[in-house]
Amino acid sequence: MSGLTEVEVLWLEKRIENRIRFGRVVRERKLDCHRRVLSFAPGSIFSFVRWTSNDFGTIISRIDILRAVAPGERCSTVPYVRPGGEILLRLSGWPKVERVLQMTDAIEALGIDLADVAPDHWHHVHNHLSVNENPRPYTRARHQAWLHRKRVMR
Would the pLDDT of 84 be above 80?
yes
| Distance between start and end Cα atoms, the chain | 24
pLDDT digits (tens, 9 = 90+) for 131-149: 999 999 999 999 999 999 9
CA 28-100-130 angle, 5° bins:
120
The per-residue pLDDT for 65 is 98
Give the pLDDT band of residue 122 (cuts 50, 70, 90). very high
Q: At what angle do helices 94-109 and 119-130 cross, to 10 degrees?
A: 150
Would the pLDDT of 1 be above 70?
no
The per-residue pLDDT for 59 is 85
Residues 6+ apart with CB under 8 A from 72: none
Q: What is the mean pLDDT of residues 63-73?
A: 96
